[in-house]
Amino acid sequence: MASSLFSRTLLGHRLVQFSSSLPQKPLIFSSVLNKRQFRLQAQPTYTTYKTSGRPSRFIASSAIETRTNFSTQSLSTSDPVVSVDWLHAKLRGPDMKVLDASWYMPDEQRNPIQEYQVAHIPGALFFDVDGIADRTTKLPHMLPSEEAFAAAVSALGIQNNDGLVVYDGKGIFSAARVWWMFRVLGHDRIWVLDGGLPRWRASGYDVESSASSDAILKASAASEAIEKVYQGQTAGPVTFQTKFQPHLVWTLDQVRRNIKEKTHQHIDARSKPRFDGAAPEPRKGIRSGHVPGSKCIPFPQMLDASQTLLPADELKKRFDEEGISLERPVATSCGTVVTACVLALGLHRLGRSDVAVYDGSWTEWGERSDTPVNTLL
């Protein structure tokens, strides 16, 4: 069963621990990316990191406040990403919400909620990838039921008329997973922040820290709401309505059928050594190799050195090199259904908005004894 980052006891411990560690004097942080300085002002709830020479967002800013007439209703969904400059200009839009969907592999030893508390885009909500997930399976962060997702998202304060921008702490990684989740459940007005938090900070834009903010409380409420749904309890008022899009998500049985029928081109986003069976899987008890008939395009090939999505012409070259035709249907998979969504993001930029993602991915396929596995050894 997927465990949430927001059990009451653990959340309380983290908040107390973080609050007690806040500096009593202003600290100066040097950005490794742009060599500018950020000043941390210790306050009980909110802290602003601000770039030298740039006014804090908590100081009255006419440039931002005069943009309140902006509406995400007019923003095209044909391109799945928006730039940090675009988001900075539209951050105070009335129907705009920003989600920090950071998630990391266990061996990275990074804690997304603690990093969120230290620094996030002003006003961003925290979306718990492991917490807003199916609680009936041991597979990691699987897509929750429609009812559970609606309850969790409603607890975050998200409504159907909101435009969403989602980012993560690596550039483009787990944010793509959340982008896909919302689309599977019927919400198309969602975009990934190109380059994520690293690019935002490299551009000199302010970040905010919070030890006990409303956003943290909402994240806790979202985790509790989804738990109640899976326990058969009433989760509270629902402000977000889902509309399941089954063509965007695949099951194990569909992958099985595709091996024989070959209706879709199956692309695996894992590294080539894992795909070939030359490298062990990071999770114990899972075989190495790949689904018969699938092809390997490691997800970093979708990104440039700054972790932003490649232009369409360069993306097309990546797929052409592996013999992937944009004229035929595509399904993607990976290890735990995170980076498969990065492939879907790249294909979306190329006009393929109908890419199916295998939600169980290799963690499900590789752990079973009744699924065929190929290797290149």
List the catalytic residues.
Answer: 334
CA distance 226 to 224: 6
Tell me how crowded residue 237 is: count the other CB atoms within 10 A of its CB: 8
CA distance 312 to 352: 12
| CB distance 81 to 345 below 8 Å | yes
Q: State whether the Cα torsion 133-76-318-108 is positive or negative.
A: negative
| CB distance 221 to 237 below 8 Å | no
CA distance 116 to 105: 16
What stretches of 262-357 show up as alpha helix (H) in DSSP? 272-276, 312-321, 340-349
Q: Which residues contact 218 (CB under 8 A, 6 or more apart)?
A: 125, 126, 155, 156, 157
Q: State whether the Cα torsion 186-250-141-124 is positive or negative.
A: negative
Tell me how crowded residue 363 is: count the other CB atoms within 10 A of its CB: 21
The DSSP H or E segment spanning 223 is helix 214-230
Antiparallel, parallel or unpaired: β 37-40 and 46-51: antiparallel
CA distance 363 to 303: 24
Strand partners, 161: none
Distances 252 to 220, 245, 257, 267, 288 between C-alpha atoms, Å: 32, 17, 9, 15, 17
CA distance 310 to 312: 6
- Residue 153 tokens read as 């998202």
